[in-house]
Amino acid sequence: MTEIDLSALETALDALPKRYPGPGGVAGIVKDGKVVATRAWGYANLDTAAPMTRATRLPICSISKQFTCQVLLASIENPDRLDGRIADFLPDFTGPMPSLRQLCDNQSGLRDYWALTVLQGARAEQVFAREDALPVIARMKTGHFPPGTAYSYCNCNYRIVSELIEAETGENLETLYRRHVWGPAGMKTAVLTSDTRYPEDGVVGYEGSDATGFFPADNAIFWIGDAGISASLDDMLAYESWIDATRDDENSLYRRVSVPPTYVDGTPATYGYGIARHQIAGLEFTGHAGALRGFRAQRLNARDARLSVVVIFNHECDSHGAAQSLIEAALGHEKPEPAPIPEGWDGQWLADDGLLVRIECGRRSATLAYATGAETLTLSPDGTLAAAGAILSRQGEAMLMTRPRDNTAPKLTPLPSTETGDATGIAGRYTSAELEADLVIEARDGAAFARFEGMLGNGRMERMEPAGKDVWVVATRRSMDAPAPGDWTAIIQRDAAGEVAGLTLGCWLARRVEYGRCG
């Protein structure tokens, strides 16, 4: 039986407000089915001085996805029979249609619709109503990989799943959550807060940092299926205790959603039914993170060790890092100091999936910029740089980035960097037949800016920077969802005469969107 050090755990809990500074937060640990330690600090609302408590209901954001999948399995017999109805949501889709299970496992290949809202001209603070979602999804005509072959996080997968659940059962999702999960788990105050304009208990989520100050995040999104649940720390700890109580029942809902998934080629996957898999301090954990502008959440459960951790902030600090620190303290786990990183790894590359890759090295760790957030790499004994989700190995001047969690291995070609680019040469209007939306690039005395226009409006001017020859970065720091999609890589396409004919735009959540120049 795995033992924990309660004294070290209490010390780690006391350190959270300083290590992850912000308006407030909650954290709790369950061991052997019992709550052994909790914290609630700071304020749920800085203006009213409402304290953060164990009973304060907070958005758990994308942790909601596993609840949606549990409801699917509990309320619909043989869910695979709904595969044929997915085409109703994608009337113009030209590629292979994903299955319902591939939606639940984030293997659909669909581009994330919160990333696409940026390309459809949405601004971070505008209202996104329930009826706005399906038209965005319906415009998708292609995916960025064939279904079942790879992993890519995609919120609209669960939006489609939730619509199918409600249509098939004739009941709303909140009723089903309460019947199948919240009630049995003893989550007495959990609710579905689909409209983020009206959070529970007057709680406020904050953007910013100690350096910039904290300011209320202005959210106006309607969530269902992909997020939307609000729950207190007590609710979430009751959920973890229920998971522990049913850990040996193979028919229990959490056991069913946490069965290890695979890709179509039989390769093991690390994400399925709204559950991600992690290895921390030598133990296997299942869980999920959550992020909405102004909030961060993380829950993790190690079935064999009978250990669970929950952390929720009403600001944008690293909830996964906080949860991991509690686990390591409880288990007395100390990470060995990484080996120094030799010279020659810094630089930028263009991946063969059309995305820019940048590596910046410190003495004992390196930062990889590729997906939505930075990944920290350290030197492995075999001479590669590795993180939990990426392994970088040299291939002469090029490099291979193996991403086991994504089931991908893009080859990276060196891209000499540049400080200046011909902004005038790329200025103009571009249109995407895929999205039925436009991109306008303007040149301003050597600088370049981009604006997206589409079914959701005209977006703000976004800064562009030259990265290399005919490669530009469109910096999207804020968007309707959180975190923002990150930097978009724009690769300029030229015709035989060398004139700009169009561009390919992409980020990890939405790759290879083609635009043709039209003015």
Catalytic residues: 62, 65
Where do the DSSP E strands lie in 58-154? 58-59
Count CB-CB contacts under 10 A for residue 431.
Answer: 18
What are the helix (H) ranges across 141-199? 156-169, 173-177, 183-185
Distance CA 434, CA 92 (A): 10
Helix (H, G, I), strand (E, B) or coil at 161: helix
Q: Is the peptide bond before 483 cis (omega within 30 degrees of 0)?
A: yes
Cβ contacts of 246 within 8 Å, gap of 6 or more: 252, 253, 254, 255
Distance CA 408, CA 508 (A): 12
Beta-strand relationship, 411-414 and 191-192: unpaired
Q: How far is CA 103 from the centre of its chain?
A: 15
Backbone dihedral region for residue 326 (phi beyond 0: left; psi -120 to 50: alpha; all else: beta): alpha
Q: What would the 3-class secondary structure string for 248-286 be?
A: CCCCCHHHHHCCCCECCCCCECCEECCEEEEEECCEEEE
The radius of gyration computed from the CA coordinates of the chain, to the nearest angstrom, equals 23
